[in-house]
Structure 1
Amino acid sequence: MTSTSATSPAAPAPETTLDKSNSRVQEMFRQIAPRYDLMNHLLSLNIDKYWRSQAIKRLRLIPGKPLLDVCTGTGDLALAMARKAGPGIEVVGSDFCDAMLEIARTKRKPDDPTNEVEFIEADSQALPFPSDKFGCVTVAFGLRNVADTDQGLREMTRVCAPGGQVMVLEFSRPTLIGLRQLYGFYFTSILPRVGQMMARNDKSAYEYLPKSVGLFQDGKELADRMTMAGLTNVKFTPLTFGVATIYEGTKPGRASDE
C-alpha cells in the first residue's frame, strides 16, 4: 500500500449517535480488561500484532527524547516502542482506565527496556505533561474512543516536541468492493455476538466497537483533522486492504536532541 498526503483540510463533520462519554467508555474497558488482549488477537486473527509492528517501523525517534503512547490500554505499543528506543529512553503509556494499566504493568520484563516503561492514569483530552516534551506521540486503536477527537489530537500535538512525530493507528473502512461488504457483515453480525459471549459486560462493548468504527472519520478526513490540530506533512497508509490505517504528522519546528 502507498501513503497518501492530506491537503486543503475541510471542517470535520460532527460524530453523532454514539455515547463516548468518559464514564461509559471507562467502565466498559474496566469490565472487558481481563480478556481484552485475548479478544483482540482472536477477533483480528492476530493481524493486530502486524499492524502494531508496522507502526513501530515508522517511528521517527529523536535522540534522547522520551516517547508517549496515549490510550495505551494494556500497553502493547508502548512496550514495543521501548524495545525500539532501547535502554535509557523514557517511555510513558497513559490511559484513563486503570484496570487496563494494571495488565500493562505485568508485561514489563526485568533486564529489558520494557521494565522502564511508566504507565500512568490520565485523560488524553488533558494530558498531565508539559508542552514540547516527547519526540514521538502515538495512539493505537484508541483515538475513536476519545469523547472529543479534536481535543485529543490537539493535546497529542501540544506535548509533542517541535520536529517530532504524532502517529495514529486506527481501524478504517476498506474500499475494495466485496471486502467492504464482508468486513461490514463480520463487524456488525459476527464480532458483537462472539465478543459479547466471551467478554461478558453490561456496556455492550462489542456492539460499541463496530459502531465506533463506522461513525469515526477515516482516510483523508482524519488526516485533515490532524492538520487542523497543528500538524504538518500529514500522510496516511492503509494496511490490510484498508481495514486499518496508519496516520503520521510532524509538529512544526526544528527537532532538537536536548
Structure 2
Amino acid sequence: MITISSFGNYVSSHPMAKFAHDGVVPYQNSELEKKQQVAEMFNNIAGRYDFMNRFLSAGIDVKWRKKAINLLKPLRPQQVLDVATGTGDFAIMAHKLLHPEKITGIDISEGMLAVGKEKIKKLGLSQLIDLQKGDSETIHFPDNSFDAITVAFGVRNFQNLEKGLSEMLRVLKPGGKLVVLEFSRPNKPVFKTVYNIYMNILAPGIGKMLAKNREAYQYLNDSMQTFPERDQFTQIMQGVGYTDTSFNPLTMGICCIYSGTK
C-alpha cells in the first residue's frame, strides 16, 4: 500500500516512513532496516567513494561544498558538527574555510569513517577534526552543544527525516545554524530530460563498472526522485522548529543548499 503525503510525495507503507524517500532502500530484498542497509552500502563502496563523487559530478561538487560552508562564515562557529560525514571531505573543507576550534563528524558507516580518519591523519588534523560512529537520529551530545551543523548529501539517507532534523536542532546552540547540501531535481524540461537519462541509466552503469556496486547508484537516483525538495524541505524544517529557512538551487537545479537557524 502507498499513501500520499501532504507534500504530494508517495509514502511507503513502512511504519517508520512518513515521506517517500524514508522508505527507499538500497537493497530491495534485504530484511534490514534502512539505516542498516545504508551503512552496509557505504561500507561496500567506501574505498571508491571519493573518486566516484569527483567522477560523476565532474568535480563540481567541490564548488557546491564551498558555497554551502561559506554561508557559515558570518557566524564564525567554533564548535561544528558534520552529520553523515562519510570520508570527511566536508569536515576537512570546513576546517580550511572556517577555522573553528573543533569539528566533530558522525556517520553510521565504519568503512567510510576509516577512510576519513586516514585522510585526516595524513593532513595532521586529528586534533582538530574528530570522526566517530554516530546515528543522525540519535545524536549522543547534550542539548545546545554546537554553533553550526553541516550535512552534505546525507539527509536523503535518514530513516526518519523529521527525527534527524529534530535531533540536529536539539544539539544546536540558540542562534546556531544548520546548512544542508543535497541533490535536487532540475525544473527546465530539456535539461531535466538529459539529467534523468544520466541518473537513470548512466550513473548506475558507471557505478557497476567502476565501483562494482550498481545498487548504490541506483539508490542514489531513487532516493533523489522521491526526496521532498526546495519549499517542501524548508516547510519540514520549519515544522520541527527551524527559523529563517531558505534554499538556493545550484547548477540548473541539480543541487540545493538549505539553511535554518535555531
TM-score by length of 2: 0.86
**Structure 2 counterparts to residues 11-90 of structure 1, below 5 A:** 11-12=6-7, 13=9, 14-15=19-20, 18-19=24-25, 21-60=34-73, 62=75, 65-86=78-99, 89-90=101-102
| 1:62 CA displacement | 4.4
1:189 counterpart letter in structure 2: I
Structure 1 residues 197-256: Cα deviation after superposition (integer angstroms, max 9, x where no partner): 11114x7111111001001111100111111121001000001011100001010xxxxx
Q: Which moved more, 1:53-62 or 1:220-229?
A: 53-62
% identity of equivalent residues: 38
Structure 1 unpaired stretches of 5+: 1-9, 252-258
Structure 2 unpaired stretches of 5+: 10-18, 27-33
Count of aligned residue pairs for this structure pair? 240
**Structure 2 counterparts to residues 144-163 of structure 1, below 5 A:** 144-163=156-175
| 1:196 CA displacement | 1.5
Matched, 1:172 2:178: no
Contact persistence 1:55–1:169 (CA under 8 A): yes
Contact persistence 1:169–1:246 (CA under 8 A): yes
Contact persistence 2:186–2:192 (CA under 8 A): yes
C-alpha separation in 2, matches of 1:67 and 1:225 = 23
Matched, 1:233 2:244: yes
The answer for the alignment partner of 1:200 in structure 2 is 212
Contact persistence 2:143–2:171 (CA under 8 A): yes
Structure 1 residues 163-184: Cα deviation after superposition (integer angstroms, max 9, x where no partner): 0101110000011121111111
More helix by share: 2
**Structure 2 counterparts to residues 99-248 of structure 1, below 5 A:** 99-108=111-120, 115-201=127-213, 204-248=215-259
C-alpha separation in 2, matches of 1:187 and 1:55 = 23
C-alpha separation in 2, matches of 1:39 and 1:110 = 21
C-alpha separation in 2, matches of 1:111 and 1:192 = 32
The answer for the alignment partner of 2:14 in structure 1 is none
| 1:60 CA displacement | 4.2
Structure 1 residues 133-166: Cα deviation after superposition (integer angstroms, max 9, x where no partner): 1000110001001111111111111111100101
| 1:84 CA displacement | 2.4
RCO higher in structure (CA 8 A, sep ≥6): 1
Structure 1 residues 102-135: Cα deviation after superposition (integer angstroms, max 9, x where no partner): 1111222578656510001000000011111100
Q: Alignment RMSD, CA only?
A: 1.9
TM-score by length of 1: 0.87
Q: 1:41 to 1:47 in 2, by over 3 A?
A: same
